[in-house]
Chain A
């Protein structure tokens, strides 16, 4: 079974703090994604990476950056957390090929106070 793990299930940070969300997948997938999920807004893509050290902006990249130094690990960074970044953050991975099935982690619920 594919396993995507996220470093924290719940996280509380203060406004202005630098926040790191970590995601690790164990299936050697080339592609990894970060989404945020908000009620009534569905899943919105923040950033994705199709290879080590490669990244592309998604639909809502403002206020976020990412790092992918190793194939299995994709980090989301909030440089200076703000209250409007309070959300559920979901990581996903996907192998190259004809299947487009993305495998999601359990999510990190981040609260910025």
Chain B
């Protein structure tokens, strides 16, 4: 049973557009929601993360919106650039002493010049 559902599977936008990637989770014990960015030939790297006590977190052009009641969170990329083209994974972990992450299936983002 997939615990973190991510959509869309792929996304193409023009430079300057605002791609939005959505994730939904089922387990209410999750208390940490990171987004990882992966470029071809590289391992994933943490981009931004949020905890459920806030509804939004912004770091530069990247924003996470979090809706606890709907059990959904999303990544917005403002003023997207071709260099943002990558695969994005949302994830969730249940905190405490459990360091395991459950990942979504990933979204391949292409930003055209």
Q: Is the CB of A106 within 8 A of B41?
A: yes
Q: How far is the CA of A67 from the CA of B41 in the complex (A)?
A: 26
Distance to closest chain A CB from B24 (angstroms): 14
B-side interface residues, number (CB < 8 Å): 21
Given contacts A58-B100, A100-B101, A102-B101, contact A43 B46 (CB under 8 A): no
Interface residues of A in 28-80 (CB under 8 A from B): 31, 40-45, 48, 50, 58
Q: Is the CB of A94 within 8 A of B43?
A: no
Interface residues of B in 77-113 (CB under 8 A from A): 89, 93, 95, 99-101, 103-106
B20 contacts chain A at the CB level, 8 A cutoff: no
Annotate A94-107 by CB proximity to B: 1 below 8 A, 0 otherwise: 10000011101111
Given contacts A40-B9, A41-B105, A42-B103, contact A101 B46 (CB under 8 A): yes
Among candidates A41, A44, A100, residue contacting B99 with C-beta atoms closer than 8 Å: A100
Interface residues of B in 4-53 (CB under 8 A from A): 6, 9, 32, 34, 41-46, 49
For B46, the chain A residues whose CB sits under 8 A away are 101-102
Q: How far is the CA of A45 from the CA of B94 in the complex (A)?
A: 15
The main secondary structure of chain A at its interface with chain B is: strand
Q: Is the CB of B105 within 8 A of A104?
A: no
Given contacts A100-B93, A101-B34, contact A43 B103 (CB under 8 A): yes
Residues of A within 8 A of B (CB): 4, 31, 40-45, 48, 50, 58, 90, 92, 94, 100-102, 104-107
Residues of B within 8 A of A (CB): 6, 9, 32, 34, 41-46, 49, 89, 93, 95, 99-101, 103-106
